[in-house]
Amino acid sequence: MAKEKRPKIMFLIETMIVTKRVEGIRRKVGFEQCFVVDPVGNGGGLSLLWKDEVEVEIVNYSRWHVNAWVMDGELRKRWLFTGFYGHLETAKRKSSWELLQQLKPEGQVPWCVAGDFNEITCQMEKWGGKQREESQMMLFREAIETSQLYDLGYSGDRYTWSNGHSEGTFVNERLDRYPTNGRWQELFKEVKVEEVEDGSKCEKVKRLKCEVGQLLEKEDVKWKQRAKRSWFREGDRNTKYFHACASQRRRKSRIIQISDLSGRILKDQEGIEGAFKRHFEEVLSSSGPSVEKIEAGTQFINLG
């Protein structure tokens, strides 16, 4: 991918490999320089690779970021690059947003942030699984706003991460993004973000979506038949509304009380069954029951 797109700078996240191995990757993909933050234990690891045609000066770094000044050989303009990695644990992600705000440069410095934030800004950036807590997403949005960053958007696949599961547990999210400040966008007016699709992943996603769609269609037919409503008028498919309709219909079909021919009100199940039995035994034993006599046994039924 690096050879095909020929970037001048490349930031790698969760490398899980030490400096010596990154050096081998650097040479293989055609970069002259690199800076590595080694992983801790079995996770993490950050790497910034660049070509000699740009000047890069590392400012500071941690397990969660790499801050560097970049001087482009063509523009001769210096700007700040921050490679960022949001905390994996939700409870500790607030510290990531505090770090992001601390890294904000002073003055009119062009600033570009790129990385895996391990968070989404809205439910539209997620497919599958349970919904994200609104308060959780709000903290992320506030951090971006406070840092005066603006998302560059994207072309291509909306989602940048999946859990690799199948069927009902499959989840897709947009965790990687490239926010910049206004000064950086003025400097690089033509820059666009392109999400490079993984062909095998796309095929898997399409197949799973197709399978889920077929299952939903089957559920829709079942609940449509039970609801006996104009379901297209009411909106979403297979929602709580249709389940409620079918359940309500089932409740309405239940006999809660009956008045027998002597005028007694019967509410218990045994009494109701006995009244029906006695009435229809009388009706069916007759050689020619009238319509009035049949209706007499059902006019006092109360359905609930």
CATH number at residue 95: 3.60.10.10
Structural domain boundaries enclosing 64: 53-197
Q: 62: closest CA among 98, 21, 32? A: 98
Compute the distance between CA of residue 141 and CA of residue 221 in angstroms, rounded to an integer: 40
Domain boundary among 179, 197, 215: 197
With a cut of 50, list the residues of the chain below it in pLDDT: 200, 205, 208, 212, 216, 231-232, 236-237, 245, 251-252, 303
Same domain, 232 and 259: no
Check whether residue 57 and residue 167 sit in a common domain. Answer: yes
- Residue 82 in any domain: the answer is yes
Degrees, nearest 5: CA angle 298-301-304: 145
Q: Supply the pLDDT for residue 135.
A: 94
In the DSSP assignment, the letter for residue 239 is -
Q: What is d(CA 236, CA 239) in angstroms, rounded to the nearest whole number?
A: 6
Same domain assignment for residues 83 and 193: yes
Residues 161 and 60 occupy one common structural domain: yes
219 belongs to a structural domain: yes
Residue 31 lies in a domain: no
Based on the domain organization, do 216 and 278 belong to the same domain?
no
| Residues 136, 235 within the same domain | no
Secondary structure E strands in the chain: 9-13, 33-37, 46-50, 54-62, 65-72, 78-85, 111-116, 126-127, 150-151, 155-156, 161-162, 172-173, 176-177, 179-180, 194-195, 255-259, 265-266, 302-303
The answer to whether residue 110 is domain-embedded is yes
Tokens of residue 106, six digits:
């002073």
Question: Is 3 among the domain residues?
Answer: no
Same domain, yes or no: 165 and 283: no
Same domain, 84 and 176: yes
The confidence score (pLDDT) of residue 252 equals 46
What pLDDT shows up at residue 292?
60
Does the pTM surpass 0.75? The reply is no
Same domain, 138 and 84: yes
39 part of a folded domain: no
CB 136 within 8 A of CB 94: no
Burial class (CB in 10 A: 0-12, 13-18, 19+), 230: exposed
3-state percent breakdown (helix, strand, coil) of the chain, nearest 5? 40, 25, 35
277 occurs within a structural domain: yes
User: In the chain, how many domains are there?
Assistant: 3
Residue 79 lies in a domain: yes
Give the Cα separation of 195 and 202 in Å (integer): 12
Strand partners, 236: none
Phi–psi pair at 71, nearest 5 degrees: -120, 110
85 & 179 share domain: yes
Q: Residue 208: its pLDDT value, please?
A: 46
Residue 62: the pLDDT is 96
CB-neighbour burial class of residue 152 (10 A; exposed 0-12, middle 13-18, buried 19+): middle
- Note whether 148 and 107 are same-domain residues: yes
